[in-house]
Amino acid sequence: MLDRTRAVLTASAMSLAIASGFAVSAHAAVSANMSKGDAQNACTTLTKQFNFLEPTKKGLPYWKDAQSKFQAGKKACDNGDPVKGATAMDQSIRDMYVVPDTDRKSENG
């Protein structure tokens, strides 16, 4: 009986994990097709998230690459290309193994 319960729970957990993966990939909020206004909002959101993450991520193996991508994205946002900037910032946060807040807002409506 215990083996059957364990098998059912394992199958349920795996199904949930697979479904969650599809939900996240279906809600990629930052894209090349977004409006400049939406992209500028994404730049603001991702800057806040990056600044929040910085103290705990600084010095880790992936930090320099992520920081470099973020700075390039910030520069693009500040120079009138928020779509390019938001895309780079989004990737920099993903490179730190974190889901960007722009995705989370999309998931929650």
For the entire predicted model, the pTM comes to 0.70
Q: What is residue 6's predicted lDDT score, i.e. its pLDDT?
A: 54
Q: Residue 91 pLDDT more than 60?
A: yes
Q: What is the pLDDT of residues 32-82, one digit of tens each?
A: 899 999 999 999 999 999 999 999 999 999 999 999 999 999 999 999 999
Task: Locate all alpha helices (DSSP H) within 1-109, ordered by sequence.
Answer: 2-25, 36-57, 63-78, 82-94, 101-107
Q: What is the pLDDT of residue 5?
A: 55
pLDDT recorded at residue 104: 79
What is the per-residue pLDDT for 11? 46
Over the stretch 1-34, which tens digit does the pLDDT of each residue have? 656 655 444 444 444 444 444 333 333 468 889 9
Q: What does the domain layout of the chain look like in residue ranges?
A: 2-107
Q: Which residues contact 95 (CB under 8 A, 6 or more apart)?
A: 62, 65, 66, 69
Confidence at residue 59, expressed as pLDDT on a 0 to 100 scale: 94
Residue with token string 């730190």: 96
